[in-house]
C-alpha cells in the first residue's frame, strides 16, 4: 500500500489527511447529534441522513487512520489479512452510502408525489427495514468481493496505486481468467450500481413530473429545494466513484488513481455534512440549539 514515496511530502500529507479526517468525523457527528437531540427532526428524511452520516464516519475511519499511522511510522506495508479487513469495511460503508442515497431519493419521491400518504408509507417500521436492508446488501457485496479477491494467492508482495486497499485495484490483480473477472464486475455493477442509479433517476423523474404540475413558480421552487442537497451529494458521490473505477481501469498513472481514491473515500464524506447543513435551515437551527445548550451547561458548571 503506497501513496507517496517522497519523505518531504509526508508532513504535508499528514496535516492534510488529519485535518480532512477530523472535519469529516466532527461534521458527520454534529449532524447525528443535531438530529437526535431535536424532536422536530425526528422524521424519515433526517433518520436516513443520520444513517448516511454514520456510514460516512465508518468509511473515513476505515481508511484514513491507517494512512496516518503509515505516514508517522514510515511503513506503508499492510498484511494480507489486514488488507482484506480494510477492504471489507470500506465496501460495507461505501455500499451503504450508495444504497442510502437511493433510499433518500425514494423518501423524497413519496414526500412530494404522495404527500397525503407520506406518514403511512414511510412509517418507522418501513424506515428501519430500509436501513437494515442497505446493511444486509452491503454485507452481500462485501462477501462477493472477498470471494473474488481471495483468489489473489500468487502474490507474496505487491504494490497498489492507492492509499488503502481499494477493491478496484485489487480486482485488477486477480489470478483468474479475464472472463470470470468480467462476469463478476458486470454482475456486481448490475446489482449495486445500475439498480440504485435507476432508482434515483426514476424517483426524480416522477418528482420533476409532479413539480411541473404545481401552478406557481414559487411553489415549484420551494418543493424542489428540498431535493437540492440530496442531488448535490448524489452527483458528488457517483462522480467520484466512477472516477475511481475509470482511472483504475484505463489510466496507467498511479497519481491519478490515488487522487481519485482520496476524493471518493475522504473528500466526499467530508463535504456531505457541509452540503446538508449549509442548504438546510432546520439543520442549522438544530446545531445552534445544540451549541447554545452546551454553552449554557458550561456556564452553569463553572458557577
Core vs surface per residue 65-88: b (16+ CB within 10 A) or e: ebbeebbeeeeeebeeeebbebbb
Least Cα distance to 108 among 40, 31, 48, 45 occurs for 45
> What's the confidence (pLDDT) of residue 259?
65
The one-character DSSP state at 191 is I
Reading the block at residue 279, the C-alpha cell is 442548504
Is 211's pLDDT higher than 80? yes
Would you say 147 and 173 are in contact if contact means Cβ atoms under 8 Å apart?
A: no
* Tally of domains within the chain: 1
Question: Within a domain: residue 1?
Answer: no
Question: Within a domain: residue 258?
Answer: yes
Sheet strands (E) in the chain: none
Question: Within a domain: residue 182?
Answer: yes
Would you say 97 and 56 are in contact if contact means Cβ atoms under 8 Å apart?
A: yes
Residue 211 to residue 231: CA distance in whole angstroms: 15
Residue 94 to residue 200: CA distance in whole angstroms: 17
Confidence band, pLDDT 50/70/90 cuts, at residue 162: low
> What's the confidence (pLDDT) of residue 295?
62
Question: Within a domain: residue 2?
Answer: no
> What's the confidence (pLDDT) of residue 22?
92
Domain of residue 176 covers 7-302
The total of other beta-carbon atoms located within 10 Å of residue 222's CB is 12
Integer angstrom CA distances of residue 144 from 34, 74, 100, 185? 36, 33, 20, 10
> What's the confidence (pLDDT) of residue 188?
76
> What's the confidence (pLDDT) of residue 240?
74
pLDDT for 269-303, tens place per residue? 888 888 887 667 777 777 777 777 666 555 545 55
Start-end of H helices in 38-123: 44-73, 80-113, 118-121
Would you say 194 and 118 are in contact if contact means Cβ atoms under 8 Å apart?
A: no
Confidence band, pLDDT 50/70/90 cuts, at residue 110: very high
Least Cα distance to 152 among 128, 169, 139 occurs for 169
The one-character DSSP state at 41 is G
pLDDT for 39-77, tens place per residue? 888 899 999 999 999 999 998 998 888 888 877 877 777
What does 257-276 look like in DSSP terms, one character per residue?
Answer: HHHHHHIIIIIHHHHHHHHH
Question: Within a domain: residue 232?
Answer: yes
Question: Within a domain: residue 140?
Answer: yes
- 96-100, 172-176, 191-195, 233-237: which range is least confident on average? 172-176
> What's the confidence (pLDDT) of residue 172?
64
CATH of the domain at 100: 1.20.1070.10
Q: pTM (2 decimals)?
A: 0.84
Residue 255 to residue 247: CA distance in whole angstroms: 10
Question: Within a domain: residue 108?
Answer: yes
Neighbouring residues of 69: CB distance < 8 A, sequence distance ≥ 6:
none
- pLDDT above 90 covers a percentage of the chain that reads 22
> What's the confidence (pLDDT) of residue 1?
47
Q: Which range scores top for mean pLDDT: 88-92, 136-140, 167-171, 285-289?
A: 136-140
Q: How many residues does the chain have?
A: 303
Question: Within a domain: residue 35?
Answer: yes
Amino acid at each position: 500500500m503506497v501513496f507517496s514515496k517522497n519523505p518531504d511530502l509526508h508532513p504535508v500529507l499528514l496535516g492534510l489527511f488529519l485535518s480532512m479526517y477530523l472535519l469529516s468525523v466532527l461534521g458527520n457527528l454534529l449532524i447525528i447529534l443535531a438530529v437526535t437531540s431535536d424532536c422536530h427532526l425526528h422524521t424519515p428524511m433526517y433518520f436516513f441522513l443520520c444513517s448516511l452520516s454514520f456510514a460516512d464516519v465508518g468509511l473515513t475511519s476505515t481508511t484514513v487512520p491507517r494512512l496516518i499511522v503509515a505516514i508517522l511510522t514510515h511503513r506503508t506495508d499492510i498484511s494480507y489479512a489486514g488488507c482484506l479487513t480494510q477492504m471489507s469495511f470500506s465496501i460495507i460503508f461505501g455500499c451503504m452510502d450508495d444504497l442510502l442515497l437511493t433510499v433518500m431519493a425514494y423518501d423524497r419521491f413519496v414526500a412530494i408525489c404522495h404527500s397525503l400518504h407520506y406518514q403511512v408509507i414511510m412509517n418507522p417500521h418501513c424506515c428501519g427495514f430500509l436501513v437494515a436492508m442497505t446493511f444486509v446488501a452491503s454485507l452481500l457485496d462485501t462477501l462477493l468481493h472477498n470471494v473474488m479477491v481471495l483468489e489473489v494467492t500468487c502474490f507474496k508482495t505487491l504494490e497498489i496505486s492507492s492509499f488503502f486497499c481499494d477493491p478496484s485495484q485489487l480486482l485488477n490483480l486477480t489470478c483468474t481468467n479475464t472472463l470470470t473477472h468480467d462476469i463478476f464486475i458486470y454482475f456486481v455493477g448490475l446489482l449495486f450500481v445500475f439498480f440504485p442509479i435507476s432508482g434515483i433517476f426514476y424517483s426524480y423523474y416522477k418528482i420533476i413530473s409532479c413539480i411541473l404540475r404545481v401552478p406557481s413558480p414559487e411553489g415549484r421552487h420551494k418543493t424542489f429545494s428540498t431535493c437540492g442537497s440530496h442531488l448535490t451529494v448524489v452527483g458528488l458521490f457517483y462522480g467520484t466513484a466512477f472516477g475511481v473505477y475509470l482511472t483504475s481501469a484505463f489510466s496507467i498513472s498511479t497519481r491519478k488513481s490515488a487522487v481519485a481514491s482520496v476524493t471518493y473515500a475522504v473528500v466526499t464524506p467530508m463535504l456531505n455534512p457541509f452540503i446538508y447543513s449549509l442548504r438546510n435551515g432546520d439543520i442549522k437551527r438544530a446545531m445552534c440549539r445544540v451549541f447554545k445548550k452546551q454553552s449554557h451547561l458550561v456556564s452553569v458548571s463553572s458557577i
